[in-house]
Amino acid sequence: MRGITVQRSSTRRRQGRPTSAVLTRAAIGQAALRQIDAAGYAAMTMKALAADLGVAPSALYNHVRGKHDLLRLVQDALMEQVDVSAFDDQPLRAAVADWARSYRDVFAAHPQVIQHISVLPVTDAPRTLDRYEAVAAALAAGGVPRSRSCP
């Protein structure tokens, strides 16, 4: 039929990957931390985590290899909460005390996580490593020999 224009709905879902990121490693880490806090590490599954994030489980595997890799994101999510700002403007002794209290408070608020992340290396957790490097740099600037502040 000539002259008839067919309009297609623009609400149809496009196929393929979205043009902008739906997930970030930070968001995955935060969601995993919430699940561990709520139900414990053993109860956290990739399927449950994906449901919490509103994605298919396969989408998670674009960002993490598995549960062990997920723990690094949880480690980063926790360590990002540890306040190291006192090293910017306080004397070393006061800054270390503030940092230690913050560290204690953050981990005390998440007891389900401690036993699982305490044995992880920090090399694959960039925000965790940044926090430790800030502390090490402040200690070095305060005259603490590197041999006493870094293994």
Structure tokens at 50: 């994906």
pLDDT of residue 10: 53
What is 73-99 written as a DSSP string?
Answer: HHHHHHHTTS--THHHHS-HHHHHHHH
Q: pTM score > 0.85 for this model?
A: no
pLDDT of residue 118: 84
Chain segment 47-90, per-residue pLDDT in tens: 999 999 999 999 999 999 988 889 999 999 999 999 999 999 99
pLDDT of residue 135: 92
Domains of the chain: 25-149 (1.10.357.10)
Whole-angstrom CA distances from 28 to 33, 64, 86 are 9, 9, 28
Q: How far is Cα 36 from Cα 51, in angstroms, rounded to an integer? A: 15
Low-confidence ranges of the chain (pLDDT < 50): 6, 9
What stretches of 15-120 adopt beta strand conformation (E)?
A: none
Q: How far is Cα 103 from Cα 80, in angstroms, rounded to an integer? A: 10
